[in-house]
Each structure stands twice: as C-alpha cells, then as structure tokens.
Structure 1
C-alpha cells in the first residue's frame, strides 16, 4: 500500500514536469545591452571600456550596442572601434540602431558583426567637419574616408556605401545622394545593400534575429559618475571649465581674504581633474604636478624675484596638457582660458585699479619722476651756449674743457679736431652735444 502510494506520487510528478516543460525556457547565455546615446566623445569611451571589460569578464556571448547618436569626435570613435574589434574575437558585437547612427555613429555601427535597425532608423551622413562646422581639410577627409571603407570591409560589407557616406563625390542618386551629398540609408535601404541584417521593432526582436532569444539580458547603463565625466570631458566644456577657473583665481587675487571667486576657480579645476581622472586621461602625477605649480605661484606673492612664479605657471600648464584627452585640444583650451583671464585682469585694473588687493604687491606703481624726488643724473642745462675747447678729437665722442672743467661730450655729427673751439648746443641728461665754434667777425 505504501509502495503503491509512492509510485503514484512519482507518476504525478513526472506528468507535471511533462506538462510544464514546454512552457519553460532556460537562459543559455548572457547578452549585455549597452546604450550609445548623445555625442561620441572620450567620456563615452570610458563607459564603453567598462562595459566591454565586464561583458568579457562574465563570458557573455554577445554585447548589443543600442545606438542613438548624431555623431561626434573621430578620435574618440576610433578608440571605441578598437574596443569593438578586440572584443569581436571573443563575443558577438551587435549594433541596434533605434533612431540614427550618423557620422561617428555610422563608423561604430560598421565595426559590429551584425546591424539591426528600427523601421524609422537611418545610418550614414558621415562627412567630417571641424569645430567651426566647416568641412575639414582635405588630409583629414581623406583619412576619414579610408577609415570608413576599412570599417565596412572589416565586417564583410561592401565599402562603396561607407565611402559614399563620407565622400559626397560618390554618385548615389538611387538613394537620394547624387554628387554633392553624403549618403544616408533608411532601414530598408540598408537591408537592401546588406548594411543591415534585419529591420526590428524592439530589443527582443534583435535577440531573436541574432539567435539569442533565450539569453539572459543584462542592461548596463552609465553610472552617475560616468554621466558627469561625459559632460566634464566634452571638448566644448573643457575650455569653459578652464576659463571659469582662471577668471575665478584672477578675481580672487584682487579680493581680500578668500571668497566666492576662489571657490569658483578651485571648484572648476577640481571638476576638470575629477572628470579626466575617472575617464582615465589624467593620473595622480598630473594632479601633484598642478598642486606643486599652484603652490609655487602662491609663493611668488611673498617671495620677490619672479622666477618661482614662472616655474609654477609652467608646471600648471604642463600638468593640464598631460591631463587632457587630446594634447592639441588642451593647448587650445588653455590659450582660450589665458585669453579670458587677461581680459578679466584688464577690465578689473581699469575699473577697480584703486581697490586692488594682492596685485598691489605684484604691480610696481611708483614712478621715478622728478616730481617724486627721483633724479637719475644732473641735468647741466647751464652749459648751453658755453664756449669750450676740444681736449681730444671728437669722433663724435671726446673730451672738452669749459673753463677749468673737463666734460665728456659728443659732436653734432661732424669730426672736430683737437684744440678747436666748440659751443654747447644741447644737453640731454648726461649727454652734452657740441658743434665747432666759428668766431664771428669783430670777436
């Protein structure tokens, strides 16, 4: 009886498993879902570095980059593309374009193993422009076009369309891009030229098309610190931060005690180094170098000479150059900040010159004028019109005698021989000017 009951329970358990099993799915792998939003810049690179490292560490089968970007900076895109290429040997890299992948975004999408697009999404418009919004120089354009073609070739796609995205001299009239326009493909057009592996409506459809429907999806988003870093390290924000810092410190030098300008300046510098350190661009050695430079600059207020201040300023500039993501861009940012600081100093000295505080110790205001009692030498104006004798030839300098006094003098320009009579015609400080004296008739 007992044995029969146990057999019954066992059969019931088996039947339950048979009924439930078809509706059960088991996650066979991990897929990381990572957003690429906004401008492509160095801060995004730091976030994606963490994302790829985590995906590889946890043996993920794929990483899906959900792209929504108008483009960005080519140097940052190039570094991110290197991350993608290195990861492709160990996991599948998928680009999911939910709205647009333009310019640097298109470049990144082309480095993926597979591309999926929303019905309204577009890819292309990858012409390179400079910071002023104008077409970049021919050398930079040529290099970028080559990079776009190489990106397409690296993932087995026809390079002609990638080239047309960056080179408006390619005729793609079939896709509304005749000569003079950059190519931009819709989802269906991208699928037609095999730049898209399928048109999808959501992330789940991406996984189904990629054969990853039963995978565990891990959503990885930027942390608050990484979001702040993306703002701080943006090439547009960097010169603004440095300008605020320089202007704040200059204002603080004019103010008694330590107040709002100083706090504003140091906070801007703190944000700069915080963002660039988290992003991996600046090390602690650059911060130490900057602090040493700042200390020397402050010491200049109490130790006369100027050399200490110059060394301190140089150390601060060097530390900022090496803390930035791009050496050339940092140089421009520093120049902008210095220019704004100089303008600030000029304005302050013009309108608040009499109320200066610390700069009163740095700027020499005394003038060595006769009104102040300063006399550099005796001005012998009483000698004008006097007649003397040349004791030495004047070529044009020499020595003359006026009465019993020997005087150094110079001729008006012509040679005057020894023993000739001379007349003092001009006195300029210690400079006595004479000419040969011609005796008048009757003298």
Structure 2
C-alpha cells in the first residue's frame, strides 16, 4: 500500500482542490491503480495522498504542527496539543514521501533537528539549537517542490504561532511552564528565609580579647568562642581587650576597649 505514487498518481490528481478530492467517486480509478492494487478502493488512498501534498493543505499542516508545539510550551506536561502537532508533521512528511516528493532521509533530518532543539534546552551553549533549527528548515525545503511556496507556508506557520504565543502571554497571562523544568526560578532572598551567613548582631557592645594580633584582621575570644574580626584600620596587640562595635554580615568590627572608656 505504501508505494511511491510518482507513476501511480497522475499529475492532474496532485493539483486537484481539497473539495474535488473529497467528492472524488471511487469509480474514478485508473486502470493502472486497479491492476496494481486489485481493488477500486485504492483510489481513496491516492486521493488522501494527493490531499496531503496539496498546496493549500501544506501551510495548514505546518501551522497546526507549530501551533501544537507552541501550546505545549504553556502546559506542564505533554498533552493533546503536542500530539496533534506531531501528527500534523507526520502527515506532511508521510504524504510527501509516499508521493515520491521526498525521501525518508528528509524526515530523519527533521527528527534530528527536533532532538537537537530539545537538547539545547538542557545543555549550555546555543550551537545545538542553531543546528537543530537549521535542520528543521532544511527538511521542509528538501521535501518541497517549490521553494517559494514552502517559504510562504513556513512564514504563515511561524507568524500564526508567534501571534498565538503573544496571545497566551498577554491576554491569558500564561507562563511557559515547559521551561520551568530546566530553569531555576527560586530566589534565595531574606523574605524566603534564606541568609548568606549568620548575622551576629547580638555581639554588638560586648567585650572580647584579642587572641591574635589584629593587623587589622585577626581572632578574638568571647568566653570560649573564637570569632574572626577586623579593626577599624589600626593595629591591636594580642590580649588587648576590645569592644565589638559593628556587625555587617560576616564582617565583625572591633575597637580597643580603652578607647571606649576614654570617650
């Protein structure tokens, strides 16, 4: 059944409008098709293939395909829209392959391009996505009879898909949930309970002793606790009593205790 229709489908059948295809009666079957299939029902298959490669149907299939993928970007999991989109692409390539307008390698190029684009979502860089997009475009042009027609068809599909994406974002306030699997959106801020380090504000005003020379950084002790500190800029000798005057995150500033007493 899946034979090439280059010789089996007359040229005039490929340019029939969709309306004529649907009203094409089974009795209108060429002798060569009846001979090859042994049944008049093969005309429906020929009509179906002719419908898939019709110039008016191609942009519709491409638009449905890209629209399905765009809608999937706004859904948390793969669903009906993605399935419909994939079916539309499969019908496009199936019709062109069976009609003898493209080879299986063209479809493999398309599939490989999609894989590269998906890999780009999880791998850093940008080269894989660029090659993937180029492979997808090349697969469509390689399967086309008329480059101008396929270019216009892709332009229509891309335009409608972009407009649909804008409507989903601006009108329906949708988020691209698909990318949430690959993008970190959590923020480590104070409001969420995250702190970069412990803020020891309770130490302000306490007396400590320089465990080491402070040049201006060093270590002081408060009871049995050792704390890394810095002075205001001066040098403080070991064992000198100091007062903690400021705490800025992990930065603890001290001053000689006698300076406080003399003020």
Alignment of 1:186-201 (within 5 A): none
- Displacement of 1:320 after TM fit? 0.7
Q: Aligned-pair RMSD on alpha carbons?
A: 3.3
Structure 1 residues 387-441: Cα deviation after superposition (integer angstroms, max 9, x where no partner)? xxxxxxxxxxxxxxxxxxxxxxxxxxxxxxxxxxxxxxxxxxxxxxxxxxxxxxx
Classify 1:355/1:49 alpha carbon distance in 2 versus 1 (closer, same or farther; 3 Å): same
The residue that corresponds to 1:390 in the other structure is none
Classify 1:353/1:364 alpha carbon distance in 2 versus 1 (closer, same or farther; 3 Å): farther
The correspondence for 2:165, drawn from 340, 345, 353, is 345
The correspondence for 2:107, drawn from 267, 287, 305, is 287
The correspondence for 1:307, drawn from 127, 140, 143, is 127
The residue that corresponds to 2:78 in the other structure is 258
Residues 6 and 100, structure 2, Cα contact 8 Å, conserved in 1: no
The residue that corresponds to 1:56 in the other structure is none
Classify 1:226/1:318 alpha carbon distance in 2 versus 1 (closer, same or farther; 3 Å): same
> SS at 2:121's partner residue?
coil
Residues 292 and 315, structure 1, Cα contact 8 Å, conserved in 2: yes
- TM-score, normalization: structure 2? 0.54
The residue that corresponds to 1:224 in the other structure is 44
The residue that corresponds to 1:336 in the other structure is 156
Classify 1:345/1:268 alpha carbon distance in 2 versus 1 (closer, same or farther; 3 Å): same
Aligned: 1:326 with 2:141: no
> SS at 2:102's partner residue?
coil
Structure 1 residues 72-110: Cα deviation after superposition (integer angstroms, max 9, x where no partner)? 69xxxxxxxxxxxxxxxxxxxxxxxxxxxxxxxxxxxxx
> What is the distance in 1 between the residues matched to 2:169 and 2:122?
21
> What is the distance in 2 between the residues matched to 1:257 and 1:51?
41
- Displacement of 1:247 after TM fit? 0.5
> What is the distance in 2 between the residues matched to 1:354 and 1:339?
19
> What is the distance in 2 between the residues matched to 1:338 and 1:327?
16
Higher relative contact order (CA 8 A, sep 6+): 2
The correspondence for 1:275, drawn from 95, 103, 111, is 95
Classify 1:48/1:311 alpha carbon distance in 2 versus 1 (closer, same or farther; 3 Å): closer
Classify 1:297/1:49 alpha carbon distance in 2 versus 1 (closer, same or farther; 3 Å): same
Residues 9 and 46, structure 2, Cα contact 8 Å, conserved in 1: no
* Structure 1: 5+ residue stretches without partners: 1-45, 53-64, 74-216, 367-443
The residue that corresponds to 1:49 in the other structure is 7
Residues 287 and 319, structure 1, Cα contact 8 Å, conserved in 2: yes
Classify 1:349/1:361 alpha carbon distance in 2 versus 1 (closer, same or farther; 3 Å): farther
Residues 301 and 361, structure 1, Cα contact 8 Å, conserved in 2: no
> SS at 1:244's partner residue?
helix
Higher strand residue share: 1
* Structure 2: 5+ residue stretches without partners: 18-29, 34-39, 187-263
> What is the distance in 2 between the residues matched to 1:248 and 1:256?
14
> What is the distance in 2 between the residues matched to 1:270 and 1:51?
21
Residues 65 and 84, structure 2, Cα contact 8 Å, conserved in 1: yes
- How many residues in Structure 1 have an aligned counterpart in Structure 2? 164
- Displacement of 1:288 after TM fit? 0.8
The residue that corresponds to 1:238 in the other structure is 58
> What is the distance in 2 between the residues matched to 1:48 and 1:356?
43
Classify 1:361/1:51 alpha carbon distance in 2 versus 1 (closer, same or farther; 3 Å): closer
Residues 239 and 337, structure 1, Cα contact 8 Å, conserved in 2: yes
Structure 1 residues 355-380: Cα deviation after superposition (integer angstroms, max 9, x where no partner)? 430244688999xxxxxxxxxxxxxx
Classify 1:256/1:51 alpha carbon distance in 2 versus 1 (closer, same or farther; 3 Å): closer
Residues 71 and 81, structure 2, Cα contact 8 Å, conserved in 1: yes
Rg (Cα) greater in structure: 1
Structure 1 residues 93-143: Cα deviation after superposition (integer angstroms, max 9, x where no partner)? xxxxxxxxxxxxxxxxxxxxxxxxxxxxxxxxxxxxxxxxxxxxxxxxxxx
